[in-house]
Amino acid sequence: MQDNTQHTTDCLIIGSGAAGLTLALSIADKVNVIILSKSALKEGSTLYAQGGIAAVFDENDSIESHVQDTLISGANLCDENAVYYTASHAKTSMKWLIDQGVPFDQIQDSDGSKRYHLTREGGHSHRRILHAADATGKAVQTTLLDKVKSHPNIQLFERYNALDLVTGSKLNLDDNKIHGAYIWNRNLERVESISAKFVALATGGASKVYQYTSNPDIASGDGIAMAWRAGCKVANMEFNQFHPTSLYHEKAQNFLISEAMRGEGAYLRRPDGSRFMPDFDPREELAPRDIVARAIDFEMKRLGADCMYLDITHKEPQFVIEHFPTIYARCLKVGLDITKEQIPIVPAAHYTCGGVITDLTGKTNKDNLFAIGEVAYTGLHGANRMASNSLLECIVFAHGAAQSILSTLASSPQPPAIPLWDDSEVTTLEEDVIISHTWHELRLIMWDYVGIVRSDRRLHKALKRIDLIKSEVNEFYETFKVSNNLLELRNLVLVAELIVRSALERKESRGLHYNLDYPDTLPSSTPTILTPDGHPEI
């Protein structure tokens, strides 16, 4: 029997990005909180978010306009109530961030007064993007993390990976509750447990399931997989957003070129210098991401080109450097001066639009379990996420979850004790290359067969191979001791299966899901919902 440590708290938050940190700060005055961070506390998708956060601050803009832009970008598959809820709470949420100290850019008018500088991104009809230069996510992450570190009611568990949620059935209880989680202490390499009145999944998305992604290594779909195994429903897993403009350079993997650059007038060009977006959409470079990504993919395949190009050299150098200092510095580091040279770009898996189904307060179909941020399906994004709605969703729904938790805290009983983890019948895996090879194989399958353009033949081929990998991984999990790579692979295989099964359910092309066998968009459609039906996996 392994020497385990058992912990107890009021609320366990799995994930330390914008959603998790916001929830923690919103409840910690009255609730004891443990935040689980799989890697370094600052690591995560929030840190790398460049563009900004959408909210109506301009008197010429309106909540209704924000709603309509989101519905259009979502290819008429958004939940209108969720969209309106998010847009109508956007300004309040941004004011909360401002009160925390997030340094959004400001400009000074001729009369000396200051106002927030608003930029525009694809899908938006107005300038409504608050930003901190081109590193908004970093500003949000570092500001909130500083607040969290100084709060006496918040404990930070760094380098801990959630292994599985603890359901009532695991404790031989006849209820629908989640009572905590088993966790993997990466520092001491042992399984521990946390009992909690409430558990919130804020684990981010699953873009690491693809070979090429803009996401950090930790984006392995952990929350989605754990929730599914615990009995949660998921929706719209077929809609994986590919960011159109990831820097194509051997020395700069996973680096995005912000959509805000196109918002400020950058052009997309073929290798011969000609523009191509006017051939695909009247909105040209400001078309929604799914359209732009498919256009780039189409031109690359048509021309046999390794990449396309993003060009902002027609703007004044000082303008480019002031508005995009992070991008300018990163490109300069690899020998590319974006004030004089075009930027080579390719699409990369970027955002998981589907996820664990929740209501407007982040509640899942399991009692005491919340899901907030990219891990969740709230109905906001539909078939395609509009730029700068993602960090917004994190803040708005974290506040909603906080209100729900605080309103039921007094009536929530203490959680039951969780049994010690038993690994007495497993052995240590001697060769990690087995895990890394399987991991690479899975991600390549997803990239080749379940990417920007799909077909039923490709999807069925992918599912067949995923089933074989899944059998191998389940055998690994039952035979060998827990490791971080094994946990992530186990989750990625399950998420890959959910994506493919969801894609096979949709008999049309809509938004981010384009199937050569069903190229038309149906007159009306509904979300793709998968249900575990009491089984641990599909």
Q: What is the CATH number of the domain that holds 501?
A: 1.20.58.100
Which pair of structure tokens corresponds to residue 492? 């990625």
Q: Are residues 257 and 358 in the same domain?
A: no
| Domain closes at, from 303, 334, 350 | 350
| Residue 154 shares a structural domain with residue 124 | yes
Among candidate residues 408, 424, 443, the one where a domain is terminated: 408
Proportion of the chain in helix, strand, coil states, percent, rounded to 5: 35, 20, 45
End-of-domain residue from the set 350, 374, 390? 350
370-398 pLDDT, tens digit each: 999 999 999 999 999 988 999 999 999 99
Same structural domain, 217 and 232: yes
- DSSP β-bridge partners for residue 355: 235
Three-class SS state of 9? strand
Instruction: Compute how many other C-beta atoms are within 10 angstroms of the C-beta atom of residue 143.
Output: 18
CB 443, CB 210: distance < 8 Å: yes
Q: Is 535 a domain residue?
A: no
- With beta carbons less than 8 A apart as the criterion, state whether 383 and 75 touch: yes
Does residue 287 lie within any of the structural domains? yes
Active site residues: 289
In a domain, 421, yes or no: no
Percent of residues, the chain, with pLDDT higher than 90: 75
Nearest-angstrom CA–CA distance, 255 and 248: 9
Is 534 inside any structural domain? no
Question: Looking at the structure, do residues 286 and 257 belong to the same domain, yes or no?
Answer: yes
CATH number at residue 219: 3.50.50.60
Q: Which residue is associated with the tokens 């300018």?
A: 328
Same-domain status, 109 and 229: yes
Structure tokens at 146: 């500083």
Determine if residue 234 is left, alpha or beta; phi over 0 gives left, psi from -120 to 50 gives alpha, anything else beta. beta
Q: Which structure tokens are listed for 45? A: 């998708």
Number of domains in the chain: 3
What are the C-alpha distances in Å from 8 to residues 106, 151, 159, 169, 188? 43, 18, 18, 19, 19
Domain extent, residue 108, equals 6-238+353-408
* 10-residue mean pLDDT series, the chain (538 residues): 75 96 98 92 61 90 96 95 98 96 88 86 87 83 94 96 95 94 94 97 95 83 97 97 89 81 95 97 89 90 92 96 92 95 93 97 98 98 92 97 96 92 80 84 93 95 97 91 91 97 97 96 96 60
Check which CATH number belongs to the domain holding 295 and give it.
Answer: 3.90.700.10
Report residue 39 as tokens.
Answer: 């890697």
* Cα–Cα distance for residue pair 223/202, rounded to 1 Å: 7
Which residues 6+ apart lie within 8 Å of 89 measured at CB?
396, 399
For residue range 403-429, list pLDDT tens digits in order: 999 999 999 999 999 999 988 778 887
Q: What pLDDT, on the 0 to 100 scale, is given for residue 50?
A: 60
